């Protein structure tokens, strides 16, 4: 039985990412969140605060994946151009969303300036994504989700989307670690992967206190496959006399 | 005088990135390193351990930027397919690079197994990038650089490339922070940016101990522009009665 696999892409928007000033933390969080929704993150891109770069990436990703998420560029300042870039890429107009204006009025009261009102601008036809953290909402346009850049606000928006996206089976994973150079067990890993349908094994080396170790991450949508394969791998590592790693490093 | 701007892209390769298991740390390091070489990182992509996805991304990025870097997928295990994927994308054969075999022989001695020899495979015509950390070299094919995924090894390979790439002027930056909502100073930021040629200002809010602050990062290749613009911004923030942020948050 081969179930439909739902796919997603993330577009990270912001000069601060590509200058190295800011370390993105949203990719990993979104990846894990999507997996619990039964959706696979298949690609991520990072582009600068540039209308054309954003637009080209949004259109390329929309054509290739079921869902597209963007992070960054929806604040009140001049460098926040995501809404305009996405609208231009989709051939949509931009206007103040009545419900977003209402939310921001509730949040800022008399201090709702023009700059703050910028955060109520959406491409035409948009729905809002609630942001319990700082008021200013995210934006949903069908299967395109425009989120903030600040990680705590992204988390708040993902909370609001929880369970609302159609997905399939989550990818399950199990890590098996051993104190060994991964190159010593390369043949074993390949053999275990090949002998179980739908199993993928990733090998990730690490060095700690002068010793070499590796984590082998087994991935499958089928818990039984995962269980059998990880038992098989553990037994084989044990038979080679390799010390297991306690917990995942 | 408008000098040539040299551009680069990064392709991050690995299931562990897109599953959220591993937080990429190479993008920010590479971005800053490239900038000191006078090269701008303009785009980054992350794809899975998938021949076609890697190949398509490499070819798209090579066509658009002066330099392309890849990270990940050059180890000894079955999931390390970057060399094969890049070679296929470029229409090149793959063989054992004599100098790489020599390096690995020196490193592993009698323990140079077939799995470890995999790390000497390169697309035909490749040069090697020295890796003082763990021996196994990176690969250079003209303006394409194939690096490891482990951050300490990436750093070692960047050390080996230091000063060897043609570039232009580094982008200079200066951060000015204030305890204020960025929305309060949005007009000011826009005005300062517009009044200086070649200046870009990014605004990055933060929340600390119940207070709202923001960092304004000014970027220009011209130190004099940066100096004038940041003095102007600081004076204007001061005139608004806003408390400066000590150090960058």
Q: Select the residue of A47, A79, A187 nearest B201 (Cβ to Cβ).
A: A79
Query: What are the backbone dihedrals phi and psi of residue B215, each rounded to the nearest 5 degrees, phi first?
Result: -105, 135
- pLDDT at position A3, please? 83
Looking at this predicted complex, what is its ipTM?
0.96
A75–B183 CB contact, under 8 Å: yes
CATH number, domain containing residue B125:
3.40.980.10
The verdict on B83 and B116 lying in the same domain is yes
Report the distance separating Cα A165 and Cα A207, nearest Å: 40
Residue A2: count other Cβ atoms within 10 Å of its Cβ: 5
Domain of A129 in residue numbering reads as 6-161
Give the gap in angstroms from C-alpha A230 to the nearest C-alpha of chain B.
17
Q: What is the pLDDT along chain B (249 residues), one digit of tens a residue?
A: 468 999 999 999 999 999 999 999 999 999 999 999 999 999 999 999 999 999 999 999 999 999 999 999 999 999 999 999 999 999 999 999 999 999 999 999 999 999 999 999 999 999 999 999 989 999 999 999 999 999 999 999 999 999 999 999 999 999 999 999 999 999 999 999 999 999 999 999 999 989 999 999 999 999 999 999 999 999 999 999 999 997 666
Question: Is residue A190 within 8 Å of residue B77, measured between CB atoms?
Answer: yes
H-helix segments, A65-147: 82-90, 98-108, 114-117
- For residue range A165-195, list pLDDT tens digits in order: 999 999 999 999 999 999 999 999 999 999 9
The verdict on B153 and B34 lying in the same domain is yes
Report the distance separating Cα A8 and Cα B118, nearest Å: 33
In what helix (H) or strand (E) does residue A205 lie, and over which residues does it extend?
strand A200-208
Q: Which residues on B lie below 8 Å from A186 (Cβ)?
A: 76-78, 113, 115, 118
List, in sequence order, every residue forming a beta bridge with A95; answer none if it has no partner: A122
Report the distance separating Cα B10 and Cα B71, nearest Å: 8
CB contacts < 8 A (A, B)? 190
Q: Which of B180, B124, B131, B135 is nearest to B155 (CA)?
A: B131
- pLDDT at position A90, please? 98
CATH number, domain containing residue B195:
3.30.70.60
Q: Which of residues 38-67 of A touch B (CB under 8 A)?
A: 40-49, 53
- Residue B212 to residues A71, B179, B205, B208, Cα–Cα distance (Å): 21, 6, 7, 7
Question: Is residue A48 within 8 Å of residue A18, measured between CB atoms?
Answer: yes
The verdict on A141 and A186 lying in the same domain is no
- pLDDT at position B230, please? 97
- Residue B232 to residues A78, B192, B194, B248, Cα–Cα distance (Å): 18, 8, 13, 18
The verdict on A181 and A203 lying in the same domain is yes
Question: Is residue B190 within 8 Å of residue B203, measured between CB atoms?
Answer: no
The verdict on B181 and B211 lying in the same domain is yes
H-helix segments, chain B: 15-18, 26-36, 51-64, 82-90, 98-108, 114-117, 151-161, 186-194, 223-239
The verdict on B116 and B199 lying in the same domain is no
The verdict on A68 and A146 lying in the same domain is yes
Q: At what angle do helices A51-64 and A82-90 cross, to 10 degrees?
A: 60
Report the distance separating Cα A71 and Cα A82, nearest Å: 9
Report the distance separating Cα B19 and Cα A30, nearest Å: 9
Given B102, B135, B161, the domain boundary residue is: B161
Q: Flag residues of chain A having pLDDT under 70.
A: 1-2, 247-249
**How many domains does chain A contain in total?**
2
Q: Which of B5, B163, B139 is nearest to B85 (CA)?
A: B139
Q: A40 to chain B: nearest residue by CA?
A: B19
The verdict on B103 and B205 lying in the same domain is no
Question: Is residue B14 within 8 Å of residue B50, measured between CB atoms?
Answer: no
- pLDDT at position B69, please? 99
- pLDDT at position B246, please? 79
């Amino acid at each position: 039985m081969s179930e439909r696999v739902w796919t997603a892409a993330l577009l990270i928007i912001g000069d601060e990412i590509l200058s190295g000033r800011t370390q993105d933390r949203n990719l990993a969080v979104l990846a894990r969140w999507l997996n619990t929704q039964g959706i696979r993150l298949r690609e991520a891109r990072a582009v600068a605060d540039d209308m054309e770069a954003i637009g080209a990436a949004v259109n390329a990703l929309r054509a290739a994946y079921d869902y597209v998420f963007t992070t960054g560029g929806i604040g009140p300042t001049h460098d926040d151009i995501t809404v305009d870039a996405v609208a231009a890429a989709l051939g949509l107009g931009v206007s103040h969303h009545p419900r977003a204006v209402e939310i921001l009025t509730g949040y800022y009261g008399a201090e709702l300036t023009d700059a703050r009102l910028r955060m109520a601008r959406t491409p035409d036809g948009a729905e809002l994504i609630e942001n319990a953290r700082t008021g200013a909402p995210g934006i949903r346009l069908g299967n395109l989700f425009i989120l903030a850049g600040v990680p705590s606000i992204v988390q708040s928006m993902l909370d609001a989307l929880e369970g609302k996206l159609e997905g399939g089976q989550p990818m399950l994973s199990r890590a098996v670690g051993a104190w060994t150079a991964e190159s010593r067990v390369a043949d074993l890993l390949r053999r275990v992967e090949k002998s179980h349908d739908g199993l993928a094994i990733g090998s990730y080396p690490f060095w700690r206190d002068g010793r070499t170790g590796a984590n082998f991450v087994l991935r499958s949508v089928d818990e039984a496959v995962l269980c059998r394969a990880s038992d098989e791998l553990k037994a084989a590592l044990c038979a080679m006399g390799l010390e297991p790693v306690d917990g995942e490093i």
